[in-house]
Structure 1
Amino acid sequence: MSDFKSILTRFWGYSAFRPLQEEIIQSIDDGHDTLGLMPTGGGKSITFQVYSLAKPGICLVITPLISLMKDQVENLNKKGIKALAIHSGLSQQEIKIAFDKASWGDYKFLYLSPERINTERFKDNLSNMEVNLITVDEAHCISQWGFDFRPSYRKIKELRKLLPGVPVLALTATATHEVEKDIQKQLDFKKEHVLRESFFRENVVYVVREREDKMQYLLQSTQRAKGTGIVYVRSRKLTKEISEYLKRNRISADYYHAGLSSLNREKKQNDWKSGKTRIIVATNAFGMGIDKANVRFVIHFGPADSPEAYFQEAGRAGRDGNKAFGVMIYGKSDILTLKKNVEKSFPEVEIIKKVYQAICNTFQLAVGYGINQTKDFNLGEFASKYNMQIQQVYNSIKILQREGYLELTSEADNPPRVNFIVTRDDLYKFQVANSSFDGFIKLLLRSYSGLFSDYVPINEDLLAKRAGLSMEVVSRFLSHLSSYKIIHYIPRKNTPYIYFPKERIDISRLKISKEHYADRKKDYQKRIEAMIYYATQKLKCRSQVLLEYFGETDSVRCGKCDVCLERNELGLSKLEFDQLAQEIKKILKDACTFEELIMKLAGNEDEKINVIRWLMDNGKIVHRIDNKLEWK
């Protein structure tokens, strides 16, 4: 293990591993297939990165999050560690070059989006790679019971046949016991082996507030709170409305959602990360791959639609280990909206079929064609063209995705790239013959290295500033050089794309199974109910409610959430309170008066009265018309 520690110190500057990291690394080193359960911000990536750096060969990292891929590849390259990423947002030539590098270029990490595993190009190149580990990030995506199931993850199992003897490390921050078992089954674990860190976040204080005037409470909260924060909302429209409301009240804020241009999103994200903007108001598009340690609060302006999503988003607070807050503000209308989401999330089967047919027609895919094709897809434009509701289209696509007909990637943000496709001698001849391009070509070559061997991301804004030109003129220069076949220029693209893992089928053969419709609807209903219970119950520690959802039934009260603080005022320990509450519950199987209840209970009278009053205030004991009390 000393080699692993020296690598940790050399590349990351840490003298010791965080909880569970060392155990996971040792488990893989012993040859065990391993499922690592670590909370958001727990340092999952260090486990496979440190292990693979200590071994000869390359680590395959499968993840659906393109932004996370890019961040990790960039961070590894900055440390002098050779890493690259391949996903369907790249051109075919870029994918070819990347596979060649992975096969022959002494690279240590190859990040792959799951749909690439099924391609012939990947399988052909795999035999040239010495693979030391298969890492499956966001492993809950492989389980049909997971909250973000992706059928392409099921193809990972086939890697085991191609790479016998190579251990598998599966990592996730959110998995129930049911999902844990399914992950291991789907990945063909030789033996069940889970290493689990408690999801308990000692430094995060959970608070829930029911308020009809949510905006006023949000303003008061952000005025009182110190440091940087995130406010999660459920619509793009609200991101702008709330950020402008905060700014009108002299609070530094900005908004973020997937519909903004990539340059705009990048600027807003960087302003927030650097501290220039204090609060970012965002949809759930914000957060994946963003590692900002000193977030002091995460506020949900209304409930998330599952405990998994809530825990992951709230978990972005306090990654530095210092005190932070996870706050949820909701009104009665939010609970009604959440309940209605169940029906909205499962459109009628005929509508789902209509969406599938319209998508295939849009891309002019004939029946029997389209397998492994990737197409740019603008959800808003598509919905408008076919006069459909965006949410209806999106939810239909999610069900089609579960059935394996197509997959939607909503966060493909690719910067502009350039690759010189002529030799240096031919380039020199072109510069001599076309003097108007000479200065710009020299600027490109001075600004970036590797342009002759690879597709290099460029910053058009930076080039424009250095050349004293507008960005439009820079883009024109690049386009002209591309048309002259001097460079291959790929403009910036942030359009989501749809991937077709199988050929188009006739609509009469399209089946929506009970497993992926009725069963999932029932499962989604349970998640909604669990979220509503978390928000509305006032008897149990917030942290305990979340932990129990993820299977941790032996956790203790946090002592800091809004429920715990109110109970703390009673002056009783958890054990004393629970014993009294259980006794009261037994007695009130048969309704009785307040005085009769006091008489039947043993113990200190003040304590008995305080607990009864507390239970009445929080709706567990109700007062009937006949003046008797009963347990609700």
Structure 2
Amino acid sequence: MKPIDVLRQYWGHAQFRPQQEAIIQSVLDGRDTLALLPTGGGKSVCFQVPALCQPGICIVISPLIALMKDQVQNLQKKGIPALAIYAGMAYRDIDRLLDNCVHGEIKFLYLSPERLVSDLARARIKQMKVNLIAVDEAHCISQWGYDFRPPYLEIAKIREFFPQIPVMALTATATPEVVKDIQEKLEFKHQHLFQSSFSRPNLAYIVRPTEAKEDQLIEILQKVPGSGVVYVRNRRRTKEVAQLLQKKRISADYYHAGLTPDERSAKQDAWVSGRTRVMVSTNAFGMGIDKPDVRTVVHLELPDSLEAYFQEAGRAGRDGKKSFAVLLYNSNDRRSLEYQYEQAFPSLDEARKVYRALGSFYQLALGGGQGESFDFEIATFAQNYGLEVIRVFNCLKLLEQEGLISVSEAVFTPSTLLIKVDKERLYDYQLKHRELDKVLKIILRSYQGVFSSYVSFSENKLAEYCKIPHELLQKNLLRMQQDEVIEYNPQKDKPQLSFIREREDANHLHFDTKLYNFRKSRHAERIKKALAYAEENRCRSQQLLHYFGEKDAPACGVCDVCLERKKQDLDNEGFERLRQKITRLLSEEALPVKELVDSFAPKMRQEVLDTLAFLQQEGVIEEKNGKLFLKK
């Protein structure tokens, strides 16, 4: 099938978005391809369409379990066979699903990077007819980036099995250093990049210095109609701010990763459908949600990187209409980020202590645990060992970056069930255990194929059908498992901690101090750029675009800095014309102010001086020893 036919058949669209068709053709031509597209730019279509155009299976590597599950469900709704394998799944379930990919008609296999490195996954992948390897959130492969994940470095190894199969990497946010690093780490045969501009002309970036953030938030939401998202730093604040807005008769709710799957789904649906106007959330909200008519995104605290800020702010105005990304900022934000930085890099001895405690917590022998996943609640773990939660969190991040462990977000995995005995033995068991007979009969009536493969089921619904309490149902299922009549895996909804490598002796645990110091310096640089965005009197859009490599971007004309300039009678078009000439002259040589001003018509003298003042304020030029020159 042709790409456009696939798009029409499965997505119902008559044409592709900008760049999608060229990206898809690049993959079909067998070229390694990096697609750097903005949030909401339709990245998934870029690998799903070419995979559907060809025989075989597409392997998709993604670190975001919730997003993987959403994409798999969306594909299945379209009648496209897709599976996901991630941390927390039972070995036998993984074994069965991988078998389906080898022998079945599965078109998409989504894998978390931690699962990709397992011996089982690699052995089965070798046997698959792979047509494409897609790497989502590809910035995670780079230590230059803000979200480095060591298992991503293993992706290139599966290329050895399929030397002729292209790799497609996708991300929404990457600096020039990260773009280069992604292609090197994935062993691109040739550098090949598709990049959309990061410019969002319809999005006004605003920074409001204020000591009364909540009052400002209420004022913004009362003035700007339409749907909105408010980002805060922790779970407790989500509820507090939502309740404050409700008191002011603003329709609001709160969202964070600690809610149950049903709660998260209900809240998200209410917001997407417009029944809730404003969602107050941690950064757990928004990934993979396609709501084009968000008019306002407000940050009550400054994130620690411009990548994170740009991605979250970019959820406003995807329909192309005028929207606002507002940061409410004060001196506490600077102190908070500086404190976070101090906490983010614990001593290596402290990290060894936490690693040793993990081994004891899960009763793992030295040399054991590789590839195993466990339910993990950080508060319980910290309390058990008398540790501070924030210190544990940062030690876990360090252990993750060393490739020792991985901690995933909470993900709901439904209960599964398999009847192990044949029908004759099961009938005999029912006769001997009348109290379990009803449960078994309902299982047999409700779930087809339960003798031959694991079936997923809702414990609440099964308890309702059986007209017994949920606790009694669980007790009955566990008893039948103990009697070896069934295999039963209870539902899960907790974060998963996985051991990437076998457990080592903490006393002899080796850390790469050179990389540790490199990550520390990169983190400091990202915080510095985030603070500059909030504090410097430069066009906000220009700052963001410059950070992502667009060095010559014009002033946006709609951010708070540009609007202030307009108030002072500097016409935006005229200012841009003067800026271009000034930067061209100063790129050739440094000049005294008088000589530079004399390069323009006498009637423009005041406009040139005003432009020079703004360029100095924005840090584009500076004066030294009586001469002006471009700041590098």
TM-score by length of 1: 0.89
1:176 equivalent to 2:175? Answer: yes
- What is the match of residue 490 of structure 1? 489
Q: Partners of 1:332 and 1:589 in 2: how far apart?
A: 37
- Cα displacement string for residues 3-27 of structure 1 (whole angstroms, at most 9, x for unaligned residues): 1100001000111111111111111
Q: 1:421 and 1:340, CA in 2 relative to 1: closer, same or farther beyond 3 A?
A: same
1:354-393 paired onto structure 2 within 5 Å: 354-393=353-392
Shift of 1:256: 1.8
Shift of 1:102: 0.7
Q: Partners of 2:212 and 2:200 in 1: how far apart?
A: 29
Q: 1:281 and 1:418, CA in 2 relative to 1: closer, same or farther beyond 3 A?
A: farther
Q: Partners of 2:55 and 2:409 in 1: how far apart?
A: 35
**How many residues were matched structurally?**
620
- Cα displacement string for residues 534-564 of structure 1 (whole angstroms, at most 9, x for unaligned residues): 1112232x12211111111132332222222
SS in 1 for 2:59: strand
SS in 1 for 2:180: helix
- What is the match of residue 628 of structure 1? none
Which residue of the other structure, out of 540, 557, 570, is the alignment partner of 1:559? 557
Shift of 1:182: 1.0
- What is the match of residue 578 of structure 1? 579
Contact 2:533 2:543 survives alignment (8 Å): yes
Q: Partners of 1:424 and 1:205 in 2: how far apart?
A: 67
1:547-626 paired onto structure 2 within 5 Å: 547-569=545-567, 570=569, 571-573=571-573, 574-576=575-577, 578=579, 602-604=602-604, 607=607
Name which of structure 1's ranges 371-380 and 301-310 shifts more when overlaid on structure 2: 371-380
Q: Partners of 2:94 and 2:517 in 1: how far apart?
A: 39
Shift of 1:63: 0.8
SS in 2 for 1:344: helix
- What is the match of residue 626 of structure 1? none
Contact 1:403 1:516 survives alignment (8 Å): no
Shift of 1:609: 7.8
- What is the match of residue 341 of structure 2? 342
Name which of structure 1's ranges 262-271 and 178-187 shifts more when overlaid on structure 2: 262-271
Q: Partners of 1:157 and 1:365 in 2: how far apart?
A: 30
Name which of structure 1's ranges 258-267 and 304-313 shifts more when overlaid on structure 2: 258-267
Q: 1:75 and 1:428, CA in 2 relative to 1: closer, same or farther beyond 3 A?
A: farther
- Cα displacement string for residues 364-415 of structure 1 (whole angstroms, at most 9, x for unaligned residues): 2233332222222211111222222222111111112111122211233323
1:242 equivalent to 2:241? Answer: yes
Q: 1:73 and 1:423, CA in 2 relative to 1: closer, same or farther beyond 3 A?
A: farther
Shift of 1:322: 3.1
- What is the match of residue 229 of structure 1? 228
Q: For residue 14 of structure 1, what is the amino acid of its counterpart? A: H
Name which of structure 1's ranges 500-509 and 350-359 shifts more when overlaid on structure 2: 500-509
- What is the match of residue 157 of structure 1? 156
Q: Partners of 2:456 and 2:321 in 1: how far apart?
A: 37
Q: Partners of 2:396 and 2:411 in 1: how far apart?
A: 17
TM-score by length of 2: 0.89
Contact 2:122 2:158 survives alignment (8 Å): no
Q: Partners of 2:337 and 2:56 in 1: how far apart?
A: 48
Contact 2:65 2:409 survives alignment (8 Å): no
- Cα displacement string for residues 541-597 of structure 1 (whole angstroms, at most 9, x for unaligned residues): x122111111111323322222222223323423255379879999x99999xxxx9
Q: Partners of 1:457 and 1:318 in 2: how far apart?
A: 39
Contact 2:352 2:507 survives alignment (8 Å): no
Name which of structure 1's ranges 208-217 and 240-249 shifts more when overlaid on structure 2: 240-249
Q: 1:485 and 1:389, CA in 2 relative to 1: closer, same or farther beyond 3 A?
A: same
1:227-626 paired onto structure 2 within 5 Å: 227-423=226-422, 440-441=439-440, 444=443, 451-463=450-462, 471-472=470-471, 474-476=473-475, 478-480=477-479, 482-483=481-482, 485-540=484-539, 542-569=540-567, 570=569, 571-573=571-573, 574-576=575-577, 578=579, 602-604=602-604, 607=607
Q: Partners of 2:176 and 2:121 in 1: how far apart?
A: 33
Contact 1:211 1:330 survives alignment (8 Å): yes
Name which of structure 1's ranges 147-156 and 365-374 shifts more when overlaid on structure 2: 365-374
- Cα displacement string for residues 321-363 of structure 1 (whole angstroms, at most 9, x for unaligned residues): 3332211111111112112222111112221221112112212
Q: Partners of 1:465 and 1:279 in 2: how far apart?
A: 35
Q: For residue 527 of structure 2, what is the amino acid of its counterpart? A: I
Q: 1:617 and 1:185, CA in 2 relative to 1: closer, same or farther beyond 3 A?
A: closer
Q: Partners of 1:126 and 1:87 in 2: how far apart?
A: 15
Q: Partners of 2:54 and 2:408 in 1: how far apart?
A: 33
Q: Could you say what the CA RMSD is over the residues aligned between the two structures, in angstroms?
A: 3.3
Q: 1:388 and 1:606, CA in 2 relative to 1: closer, same or farther beyond 3 A?
A: same
- What is the match of residue 16 of structure 1? 15
Q: 1:147 and 1:583, CA in 2 relative to 1: closer, same or farther beyond 3 A?
A: closer
Q: For residue 547 of structure 2, what is the amino acid of its counterpart? A: Y
Shift of 1:283: 1.1
Q: Partners of 1:576 and 1:126 in 2: how far apart?
A: 57
Q: Partners of 1:621 and 1:289 in 2: how far apart?
A: 40
SS in 1 for 2:207: strand
Name which of structure 1's ranges 355-364 and 154-163 shifts more when overlaid on structure 2: 355-364
Q: Partners of 2:282 and 2:355 in 1: how far apart?
A: 26
1:208-219 paired onto structure 2 within 5 Å: 208-219=207-218
Q: For residue 302 of structure 2, what is the amino acid of its counterpart? A: P
- Cα displacement string for residues 135-156 of structure 1 (whole angstroms, at most 9, x for unaligned residues): 1111111111121111111111
Q: Partners of 1:416 and 1:296 in 2: how far apart?
A: 39
Q: 1:41 and 1:450, CA in 2 relative to 1: closer, same or farther beyond 3 A?
A: farther
Name which of structure 1's ranges 310-319 and 108-117 shifts more when overlaid on structure 2: 310-319
Q: For residue 543 of structure 2, what is the amino acid of its counterpart? A: V
SS in 2 for 1:404: coil
Q: Partners of 1:100 and 1:580 in 2: how far apart?
A: 64
Contact 2:88 2:374 survives alignment (8 Å): no
Q: 1:8 and 1:210, CA in 2 relative to 1: closer, same or farther beyond 3 A?
A: same
Q: 1:434 and 1:273, CA in 2 relative to 1: closer, same or farther beyond 3 A?
A: farther
Q: Partners of 2:621 and 2:54 in 1: how far apart?
A: 62
- Cα displacement string for residues 280-313 of structure 1 (whole angstroms, at most 9, x for unaligned residues): 2111122223333332221111111101111111
Contact 1:33 1:169 survives alignment (8 Å): yes
Contact 2:578 2:608 survives alignment (8 Å): no
SS in 1 for 2:30: coil
Shift of 1:92: 1.1
Q: What is the percentage of aligned positions where both structures have the same residue?
A: 44
SS in 2 for 1:161: helix
Q: Partners of 1:362 and 1:345 in 2: how far apart?
A: 23
Name which of structure 1's ranges 435-444 and 253-262 shifts more when overlaid on structure 2: 435-444
